[in-house]
Chains A and B, each alone.
Chain A
């Protein structure tokens, strides 16, 4: 099964790193990129994506606020916060919203592990 994944990060470099990791771990999946939370919310509300990966530290709406907004309309969508801000509090707040946490620098292993879990969840929802 191929899924469509939304990547939200204000840094172009961070999006490049993420896209290159995807080419290695899930080469046939489709990526949609957003540079900020407003763009991301528009994409999510169109129902165009299955999974979202969200940077925490962004200008305007931060990643946790964005996840909380996504949760209002998409309570079951697999979502992860991706950040170098590995403070226990940030990770805890992500977990409370039923979101994963992937530390930066991004590794293929951490990304693949999250995506495997996400795939399982999506399969369960459709079955």
Chain B
């Protein structure tokens, strides 16, 4: 398959960004509830890029030491969802979730647990909302934690080469008072994009039908 065959039209990109936005908004509202503070979000970006380019995008201004909680998903399309932030902010994020009353030792003890459960809640919120919006069902794996640079997170050197094109969908979040920022990212493989295009078009047709029903 060439990249052209899978390229998304403008309306498909818009629709996908909107669907992602719904998922990520749910994720942000979950995060906000967990930390009890405002979480700011950027506009979601949708790109078809190589794994390698995607890995550079998340490194951007961050040190190349990152932590990610990842969950794979399968269903009408498959991929991975990741909650990514700089490793240096990991303990602060955990502290903001378990509360300031805990000692540093407690925070360190609970770090893995807290990251996994936080990732689980945030990524599940995002993926489940997307599945509901699209009237589809998705299976999600258990959360796992990866540490490293962008290449490690996106398996640039893995069995699928770094030059392989993927659909990369991401949004920045920022916990204002805590100086914690990061990304929620979805990474989908090309065979899935073809399936995704069909589903997104069903979604678009559904909206067009709804609006014509209203007019009529």
Instruction: List A residues at the B interface (Cβ < 8 Å).
Output: 11-14, 16, 57-59, 83-90, 104-105, 107
Contact = CB atoms under 8 A, between A and B. Distances in A.
Interface residues of B, number: 24
Interface of B: 26, 30, 33-34, 98, 110, 113-114, 116-117, 120-122, 124-125, 127-129, 131-132, 137-138, 140, 142
A87 B73 CA distance: 13
Nearest to B109: A12
A83 B124 contact: yes
10 contacts: A11-B113, A12-B110, A16-B98, A59-B142, A83-B124, A85-B127, A85-B140, A86-B26, A87-B128, A104-B30
Given A87-B137, A88-B132, A104-B121, A13 B98 contact: yes
Tell me if B's interface is mostly helix, strand, loop or mixed. Answer: helix
Given A12-B110, A13-B113, A57-B120, A84 B128 contact: yes
A57 B122 CA distance: 13
B131 A87 contact: yes
A58 to B, nearest CB: 8
B117 A107 contact: no
A7 B168 CA distance: 37
A81 to B, nearest CB: 13
By Cβ-Cβ distance, the 7 closest A-B pairs, closest first, are A84-B124, A84-B121, A11-B117, A87-B128, A13-B117, A86-B128, A13-B113
